[in-house]
Amino acid sequence: MNLEQFFSQFREHIIGINQTFDSPYGVKKVVYADWIASGRLYRPIEEKICNELGPFVANTHTDFYNWCNNDTCLS
């Protein structure tokens, strides 16, 4: 197995990896070139954040049901 084959299992979970856009030259594939600074969204991580952390996140300026303390402890 070469490196491209090994990493393909991770690559397929990158959100927007096959994204295209309409340009004056036809439909083009988005080329993402800033992997060092911010990277791309990775679906397994985003789903974990949304499903397991998201229900407990609230505006930090509220004290409704003590949710603000949850956010404060997470940061």
pLDDT in tens, 35-64: 787 888 999 999 999 999 888 877 666 655
Distance in angstroms (rounded) separating the CA atoms of residues 52 and 66: 18
Same domain, 34 and 50: no
Same domain, 34 and 11: yes
pLDDT for the residue numbered 56: 80
Contacts of 42 (CB under 8 A, 6+ apart): 10, 13, 14, 15
- Please compute, for residue 49, the number of CA atoms within 13 A of its CA located in the half-sphere on the CB side: 7
At 7, the amino acid letter reads: F
Same domain, 46 and 65: yes
Q: How far apart are the first and last CA of the chain?
A: 40
Range of the domain at 11: 1-40
> How many domains does the chain divide into?
2
Single pTM value for the model: 0.65
Same domain, 33 and 55: no
